Amino acid sequence: VARTDPRIMTMIVLAGASSFFVGNAFQAQMPEYAQVLGADNTGAWYSILLAANAAGAVLGVLLLEGADALRPSVRTAIVCAGLWGVTMGLFPMAGSYQVAVALLALAGVFSIAFTSMAQTLVQILAPARLRGATVGLFNTAMLGLRAGSGVTVGVLGAFIGVRLSLELSSLMVVFVAIAL
């Protein structure tokens, strides 16, 4: 089914690319980002960075559910994924703590928007008799490929620095979104 419906395949590729290149590996490196931004060792500033991303996701849910701001479509999911890649790529470049928090909050909005839209589209578009297998394939791409981000952001970050590795990994997500 995924091969016969380009919309389903696009959502699976989008989910897989975002998961593989960035995923959530950046969260494990948040202490280093916080330190670069001038945070002390108390952990409060680090926690605020993580909370900003989560708060953005909550805001995204409110926008999707309450304000009906974004209609689910393949194009909208791709645009939101591209914008997520942009905000995640700009985050390590942030020169101030406030800008970093704002970028992470925006990234949370775009992340929840594109992932929920992509999953919704896969569920709606998959034929009933193959829905479970199709959604399973989507979830494998979305969740199962996160190990790749441990390499693209984590291992690569050990060699070139966590900031540059997240910037490059995010750029790959933007390239995939543009290609799709």
pLDDT at position 153 is 87
Confidence grade of residue 2 (pLDDT, cut at 50, 70, 90): low
Arithmetic mean of pLDDT over the chain: 89
Over residues 47-58, the mean pLDDT reads 87
85: Cβ contacts below 8 Å, ≥ 6 apart = 18, 22, 170, 171, 172, 173, 174, 177
**Mean pLDDT, range 79-102, rounded to an integer:** 94
pLDDT for residue 74:
94
pLDDT at 40 over 80: no
49 pLDDT more than 80: yes
Question: Is 0.85 topped by the overall pTM?
Answer: yes
How far is residue 165's CA from residue 157's CA, in Å, rounded to a whole number?
5
Distances (CA, A) of 91 to 2, 13, 34, 73: 34, 24, 11, 27
Confidence class of residue 42 from pLDDT cuts 50, 70 and 90?
Answer: low
User: Which tens digit of pLDDT belongs to each residue from 130-169?
Assistant: 899 999 999 999 999 998 888 888 888 889 998 999 999 9
Residue 61 pLDDT: 85
Is the CB of residue 72 less than 8 Å from the CB of residue 121?
yes
Q: Residue 125: what residue type?
A: L
86 touches 170 (CB < 8 A): yes
Rg (CA), the chain: 16
| Angstrom distances, CA of residue 111 to CA of 15, 22, 80, 81 | 10, 11, 7, 7
The predicted pLDDT at position 169 comes to 93
- On the question of pLDDT at 67 being above 70, the answer is no
pLDDT for 41 beyond 70: no
Tell me the residue type at 46.
Y
H helix runs in the chain, sequence order: 6-21, 25-28, 30-36, 44-65, 74-90, 97-125, 131-139, 146-149, 156-160, 162-179
* pLDDT-derived band at 10, boundaries 50, 70, 90: very high
User: Per-residue pLDDT averaged across 80-89, rounded?
Assistant: 96
CA distance 161 to 168: 11
Distance of alpha carbon 109 from alpha carbon 131, whole angstroms: 27
The phi and psi torsions of 39 (rounded to 5 degrees) equal -70, 150
Q: What is the pLDDT of residue 168?
A: 94
Supply the pLDDT for residue 48.
86
